[in-house]
């Protein structure tokens, strides 16, 4: 028949893959060619990514002050397409004008540029970035904004709805208002801001801004308030050109909680049966929840869903919507208008009358393709014990079918039941599982039918729990390396071990050039020194990049590594950035491209018993400044301290996690006591740029532990989250670069990440993790 061939694309460079090929005969027997291991070669050189195209080859002008830019995905030279990053830049088409920069984000294919001038010609450009920051341009496009209507007249508020704002529970205030009118902007496009503060508070207002409250909305619920407390409430309306007017302040007092404030979430029920799926709908059924105060028939339910490939949930009601907008006393819901043949996450939340809620747990469900007949396995996954055994799986369909072949690539799954010529709506398949002599393992059983192919995932438990010691646990590097033209000095925190004392742990330092495979080491394995936390690598080449690592070994010979660092030695004549603690002006060395701008993502934070810590991120421009390093400090450490993100997560005790200056683009600010503090980030390249964040602590969380049930850990090369409630999760590199943001449901969630160290923030809980 000749040679058959196929090409596998979009693989990672310098990575080993297992490849197999199977052929299905007319009799239903599957024959495998056998596993072959193939390693892709490393990338030679630094190629540039390949941009896609602008959609419609132009920008869409949305009005006098906004345009939309859309483009197709690019292709990476060394980076997978899903990991490529994009940035939009723009400027007036006038000689000498500086470029404005949008955020750098993954999977960004549309961006709205706002706040630009009317009747003006602009240039816009999309930049595509690899992981190594090499970039390529989509090209410059021009557009001209139209003249704006001369509108200087503010909208006219039409007052609050009678009886509002009013307290709707001990912790919520409902606000309703009549829609304002405007001389130019249509009523349905007016935007509103809902603001509130304690009547006794003389500081700034808290608010839901115009981007949070849907356009044209005329009601909102202010949540998470204190019981038996007087508040001031106001609403602001804004037209399309930014003219604003307030409805007027109102005072509302929340009532005391009856029998104490209800902070206990309902108890979730269980899902009933499997979801009912069509090409465009998913229908769930569940048993009612229970609550300590709210009757079961008065519990309300909320529904969220998203494609497995998406990062944000869609909700049956928007965040902040009135609790009364949720349906009561139902046990069935259909998610409609879904894409066919697409995998979705779906979830159900139960709410009590106080607004406390619990999620039933996310279910992964795939809609049918058009004209698809549903066929399924029962169960879809199977966990078996370590001993030899025989198992059975059911196959069912709403139309009659027959089994045409059964196969597996796992030699410990064998002796399948024979294929069947019988045509019926239900079949059963039996197979044997051999005894497991070692660690937990996972295999697949593939069942081919006349209605399609199905795969059963089989996980077999380990023979016994792991015996002996665990490997040591590195505790991270301590501060930035000190670098000269010929040396690199590393410091690290002592590792921990379940059997070996810290003083008896031994360390080895290794380094190499990126172009070499062999490592140079600080000692032989037999001569590794004990209980050291710093080492200076000497005799290096100037202005050369090195890869360095620190290894730790316990008395049982188990070893672990602190993680690779890429460090470039300085040129001769350049002094290291190693300021003394009492020297406010570090020696910047030789800087040809200094920092020109330093800003923080937060300029003011008010803490009222709701935060133990928060992340503070700095933006340094230009992005390719010679020395973008920062030094952080707190004006009042008794109120708030700054902790390097590369160390352990802040602990409730409030102790500093490392000594010496705190550096990095992103830091954690740890709250200790009431009062005020100013957090300052300052450049260390001699440009004297600084930025501040005002921290006002009204009340502290105290020594509360992290939310009960919250767990962040890694296993099998994955990040795992166990959350008591649906929570926003942010994942950072140790350098403070945010890699991903997701809204994780209550229960268990897994996230695939490349190998490395990460900082994960789930609600108020911050944890450093390592993906092996």
- What confidence score (pLDDT) does residue 165 get? 95
Sheet with strand 690-699: strands edge to edge: 604-608, 690-699, 675-683, 630-634, 662-663
Q: Identify the top-confidence range among 650-654, 740-744, 747-751.
A: 747-751
pLDDT of 383-403, one tens digit each?
887 777 778 888 888 777 788
Beta strand pairing call for 300-307 and 282-285: unpaired
104 plus 170 within the same structural domain: no
Reported as half-sphere exposure (CB side, CA atoms, 13 A), residue 237 has a value of 28
Read off the pLDDT band of 132 (50, 70, 90). confident
- What confidence score (pLDDT) does residue 249 get? 94
User: In this structure, is residue 100 part of a structural domain?
Assistant: yes
User: In this structure, is residue 389 part of a structural domain?
Assistant: yes
User: In this structure, is residue 159 part of a structural domain?
Assistant: no
Q: What average pLDDT does the chain have?
A: 79
Distances (CA, A) of 722 to 17, 271, 346, 537, 595: 31, 19, 17, 41, 41
488 plus 558 within the same structural domain: yes
Read off the pLDDT band of 114 (50, 70, 90). confident
534 three-class SS: strand
**232 pLDDT exceeds 90?**
yes
User: In this structure, is residue 35 part of a structural domain?
Assistant: no
Give yes or no for a contact between 441 and 463, defined as CB atoms under 8 angstroms apart.
no
- What confidence score (pLDDT) does residue 709 get? 67
Tokens of 605: 């934070």
Tokens of 721: 């989250």
184 plus 249 within the same structural domain: yes
Count of domains forming the chain: 7
**651 pLDDT exceeds 80?**
no
**526 pLDDT exceeds 60?**
no
424 plus 349 within the same structural domain: no
Q: Name the nearest CA neighbour of 476 among 736, 768, 772, 762.
A: 768
Q: What percent of the chain has pLDDT over 70?
A: 84
Give yes or no for a contact between 597 and 623, defined as CB atoms under 8 angstroms apart.
no
- What confidence score (pLDDT) does residue 466 get? 37
Measure the CA–CA gap between 123 and 99, rounded to whole angstroms. Answer: 9
Q: What's this model's pTM, rounded to 2 decimal places? A: 0.28
- What confidence score (pLDDT) does residue 169 get? 84
- End residue of a domain, out of 429, 460, 491: 460
192 plus 226 within the same structural domain: yes
User: In this structure, is residue 152 part of a structural domain?
Assistant: no
390 plus 358 within the same structural domain: no
Mean pLDDT to the nearest integer, 152-181: 91
Distances (CA, A) of 139 to 66, 88, 162: 20, 11, 56
Q: Name the nearest CA neighbour of 562 among 585, 582, 534.
A: 534
- What confidence score (pLDDT) does residue 209 get? 63
**344 pLDDT exceeds 50?**
yes
- End residue of a domain, out of 699, 720, 747: 699
Residue 620: exposure state from Cβ atoms within 10 A (0-12, 13-18, ≥19): buried
User: For residue 725, what is the domain's CATH number?
Assistant: 2.60.40.3080
Mean pLDDT to the nearest integer, 551-556: 80
Higher pLDDT, 361 or 82: 361
Mean pLDDT to the nearest integer, 715-723: 83
User: In this structure, is residue 456 part of a structural domain?
Assistant: yes
Tokens of 683: 């450049």
User: In this structure, is residue 23 part of a structural domain?
Assistant: no
Reported as half-sphere exposure (CB side, CA atoms, 13 A), residue 308 has a value of 13
Sheet with strand 66-70: strands edge to edge: 60-63, 66-70, 110-114
User: For residue 77, what is the domain's CATH number?
Assistant: 2.60.40.10
**646 pLDDT exceeds 70?**
no
Measured in degrees and rounded to the nearest 5, phi and psi for residue 323 equal -60, -30
pLDDT of 280-290, one tens digit each?
889 899 999 99
**334 pLDDT exceeds 70?**
yes
231 plus 298 within the same structural domain: no
Q: What percent of the chain has pLDDT over 90?
A: 14
718 plus 688 within the same structural domain: no
312 plus 352 within the same structural domain: yes
User: In this structure, is residue 575 part of a structural domain?
Assistant: no
* Across 102-106, 274-278, 461-465, least confident range: 461-465
- What confidence score (pLDDT) does residue 350 get? 93
| Domain region containing 134 | 55-144
Three-state SS for 91-142 is EECCCCCCCEECCCEECCCEEEEECCCCCCEEEEEEEEECCCCCEEEEEEEE
293 plus 356 within the same structural domain: yes
The single-letter DSSP state of residue 728 is E
User: For residue 692, what is the domain's CATH number?
Assistant: 2.60.40.3450
Tokens of 481: 């390396």
288 plus 340 within the same structural domain: yes
437 plus 420 within the same structural domain: yes
Q: What b/e readout covers 738-755, taking b as 16+ CB neighbours within 10 angstroms? A: bbeebebbbbebebebee
CA 460 to chain centroid, in Å, comes to: 31
**Sheet strands (E) in 409-487:** 413-414, 424-433, 441-449, 452-460, 482-483
Give yes or no for a contact between 465 and 389, defined as CB atoms under 8 angstroms apart.
no
**25 pLDDT exceeds 80?**
no
pLDDT of 53-76, one tens digit each?
888 777 888 778 888 899 889 888
């Amino acid at each position: 028949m000749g040679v058959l061939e196929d090409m596998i694309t979009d693989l990672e460079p310098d990575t080993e893959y297992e490849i197999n090929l199977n052929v299905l005969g007319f009799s239903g027997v599957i024959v495998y060619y056998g596993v072959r291991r193939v390693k892709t070669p490393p990338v030679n050189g630094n190629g540039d990514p390949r941009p896609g195209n602008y959609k419609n080859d132009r920008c869409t002008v949305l009005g006098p002050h906004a345009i939309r830019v859309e483009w197709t995905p690019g292709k990476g030279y060394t980076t997978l397409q899903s990991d490529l990053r994009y940035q939009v830049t723009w400027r007036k088409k006038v000689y000498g004008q500086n470029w404005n920069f949008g955020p750098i984000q993954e999977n960004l294919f549309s961006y709205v540029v706002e706040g630009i001038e009317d009747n003006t010609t602009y240039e816009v450009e999309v930049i595509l970035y690899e992981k190594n920051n090499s970039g390529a341009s989509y090209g410059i496009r021009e557009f001209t904004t139209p003249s704006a209507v001369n509108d200087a007249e503010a909208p006219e508020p039409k007052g609050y709805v009678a009886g509002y704002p009013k307290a709707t529970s001990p912790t919520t205030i409902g606000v309703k208002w009549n829609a304002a009118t405007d001389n130019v902007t249509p009523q349905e496009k007016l935007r509103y801001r809902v603001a509130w503060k304690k009547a006794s508070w003389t500081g700034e207002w808290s608010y839901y801004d115009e981007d949070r409250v849907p356009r044209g909305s005329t009601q909102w619920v202010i949540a998470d308030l204190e019981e038996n407390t007087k508040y001031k409430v106001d609403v602001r309306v804004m037209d399309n050109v930014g003219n604003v007017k307030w409805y007027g302040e109102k005072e509302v007092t929340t009532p005391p909680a009856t029998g104490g404030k209800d902070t206990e979430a309902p108890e979730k029920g269980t899902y009933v049966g499997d979801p009912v799926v069509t090409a465009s709908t998913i229908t769930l059924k569940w048993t009612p929840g229970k609550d300590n105060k709210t009757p079961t028939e008065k519990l309300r339910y909320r529904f969220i869903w998203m494609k497995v490939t998406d990062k944000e949930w869609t909700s049956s009601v928007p965040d902040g919507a009135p609790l009364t907008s949720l349906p009561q006393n139902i046990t069935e819901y259909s998610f409609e208008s879904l894409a066919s043949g697409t995998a979705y996450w779906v979830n159900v939340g139960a709410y009590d009358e106080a607004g406390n809620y619990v999620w039933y747990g996310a279910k992964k469900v795939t809609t049918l393709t058009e004209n698809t007949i549903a066929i399924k396995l029962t169960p879809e996954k199977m966990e078996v014990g370590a001993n030899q055994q025989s198992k059975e799986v059911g196959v069912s369909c709403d139309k009659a079918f027959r089994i045409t072949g059964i196969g597996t690539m796992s030699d410990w799954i064998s002796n399948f039941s024979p294929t069947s010529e019988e045509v019926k709506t239900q079949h059963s398949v039996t197979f044997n599982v051999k005894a497991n002599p070692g660690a937990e393992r996972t295999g697949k059983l593939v069942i081919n039918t006349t209605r399609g192919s199905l795969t059963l995932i089989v996980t077999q438990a380990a023979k016994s729990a792991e015996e002996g010691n665990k490997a040591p646990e590195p505790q991270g590097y301590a501060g930035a390396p000190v670098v000269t033209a010929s040396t690199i000095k590393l410091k690290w925190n002592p590792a921990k071990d379940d059997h070996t004392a810290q003083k008896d742990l031994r360390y080895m330092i290794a380094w190499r050039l990126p172009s070499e495979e062999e490592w140079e080491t600080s000692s032989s394995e037999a001569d590794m020194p004990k209980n050291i936390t710093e080492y200076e690598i000497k005799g290096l080449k100037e202005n050369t990049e090195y890869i360095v690592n620190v290894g730790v070994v316990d008395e049982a010979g188990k070893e672990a590594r602190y993680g690779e660092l890429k460090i470039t030695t300085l040129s001769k004549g350049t002094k290291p950035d190693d300021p003394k603690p009492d020297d406010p002006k570090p020696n910047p060395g030789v800087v040809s491209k200094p920092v020109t701008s330093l800003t923080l993502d937060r300029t003011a934070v008010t803490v009222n018993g709701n935060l133990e810590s928060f992340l503070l991120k700095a933006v340094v421009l230009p992005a390719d400044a010679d020395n973008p390093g920062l030094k952080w400090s707190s004006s009042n450490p008794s109120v708030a301290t700054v902790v390097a993100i590369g160390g352990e997560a802040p602990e409730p005790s409030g102790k500093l996690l490392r000594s010496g200056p705190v550096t990095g683009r992103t830091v954690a600010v740890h709250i200790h006591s009431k009062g005020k503090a100013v957090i300052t980030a300052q450049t260390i390249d001699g440009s004297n740029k600084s930025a501040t964040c005002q921290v006002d602590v009204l009340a502290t969380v105290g020594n509360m532990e992290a939310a009960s049930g919250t767990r962040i850990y890694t296993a099998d090369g994955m990040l795992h989250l166990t959350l008591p409630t649906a929570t926003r999760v942010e994942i950072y590199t140790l350098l403070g670069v945010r890699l991903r943001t997701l809204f994780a449901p209550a229960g268990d969630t897994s996230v695939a990440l490349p190998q490395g160290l990460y900082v994960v923030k789930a609600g108020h809980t911050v944890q450093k993790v390592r993906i092996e």
